[in-house]
Amino acid sequence: MTTARRRPALHLAVASGVNLAAAIDAFLSQPDLASTTRAKYRQTLTVVEDELGDAPVTGAGAGLTGVVAQRWHHASPATWNRHVATVRSFARYCERTRILAIDGDVELQRRAEKHDHTRSIPTASLERLWERRDIDLRERTLWRLLYETAARADEVLRLDVGDLDIPAKRARTRSKGGDMDWLFFGSGSARLLPRLIAGRRAGPVFLSNLRPSPARAPAAGDICPVTGRARLSYRRAAELLVAQTGWTLHQFRHSALTHLAEADVQLPLLMAKSRHRSLRTLQRYARPGPDAVAALTAAHDPARRR
């Protein structure tokens, strides 16, 4: 079990008759949470609720941190860190809102993650992808837009037609923190988008191929008023990309930032492009790839032929 220095054990006392389940519901109902973040938080906190029930949490080694340590001790560093971050965020929310009285804390230590520095897609591979005509227009547009905007996949997938400003090559989206931001794209996306929306003035930009069943009807905002089709899901978009290329949706964002860094774009502009709030997080993506390092080495090789 991985823990850092110990403080007094974490105790949750139910405040004003609010139980743990109600506190979790209130936490997940915060309007500034992105849908993907809310879903990840729910996965962790559902386990916490199942383990702890509605009773106040008492006793050394019990509580939120005890659940994390017991349930995810053998998880990968990335999974462990995600659950730890969720518990910390929930505990801070409880303390800030006083929905649950928190006495003390046990600080769970993040684990070092091994980052794969080969995840950037080579520029030549991307150019070959853009030229392929055996791929559906929807996927070609989505992938090109993901790369040119360097945006998170969920930000692009939740775009509506009304968010697009194609002449200005930009689109309005709600970012990870809940703020409204502009995504800026290039000529490739600007040529594909009008063909994709085909005159539609409302509804999601990226649509599924089939109409939703009445039993699983999505929210009204996720239905195209013209075609009756639903918004393309992250899961389906990811499946289609893996089937065609073996890549992940996130690799387009990773690759865009890496290629901009290799082109000597300065970090402040990269932060504005990617909308990262942490320079430390951005630097993981803005690391020059092996082709750039190889070219640098060759350029400064004193023994090379001239």
243 or 103: which leads in pLDDT:
243
Pairwise pLDDT comparison (87 vs 295), residue with the higher score: 87
- Residue 298 has a pLDDT of 73
For 113, residues 6+ apart whose C-beta sits below 8 A from its C-beta are: 77, 78, 81
Percent of the chain with pLDDT over 90: 32
What are the residue ranges of CATH 1.10.443.10 in the chain?
Answer: 123-293
Candidates 59, 53, 29; CA nearest to 41 is 29
3-state DSSP assignment of residue 204: strand
Query: In the chain, where does the domain assigned CATH 1.10.150 lie?
Result: 11-103
CB 4 within 8 A of CB 109: yes
Query: Residue 181: helix, strand or coil by DSSP?
Result: strand
Q: What number is the average pLDDT over the span 101-120?
A: 64
Write out the H or E segment, with its range, that includes residue 12: strand 11-14
HSE (CB half, 13 Å, CA atoms) of 292?
18
145-198, pLDDT tens digit by residue?
999 999 989 999 999 999 999 999 999 988 766 678 899 999 999 999 999 999
- How far apart CA 51 and CA 262 sit, in angstroms, is 48
> How far apart, in whole angstroms, are the C-alpha atoms of residue 286 and residue 113?
17
276, 282 contact by CB (below 8 A): yes
Structure confidence at residue 104 as a pLDDT band (50, 70, 90): very low
* Cα 289 to Cα 258: distance, rounded to the nearest angstrom: 7
Global pTM exceeds 0.75: no
Looking at domain 123-293, which CATH architecture does it have?
Orthogonal Bundle (1.10)
* CATH T-level assignment (fold) for domain 11-103: DNA polymerase; domain 1 (1.10.150)
**Residue bearing the bigger pLDDT, 123 or 34:** 123
Answer whether 253's CB lies under 8 Å from 146's CB. yes
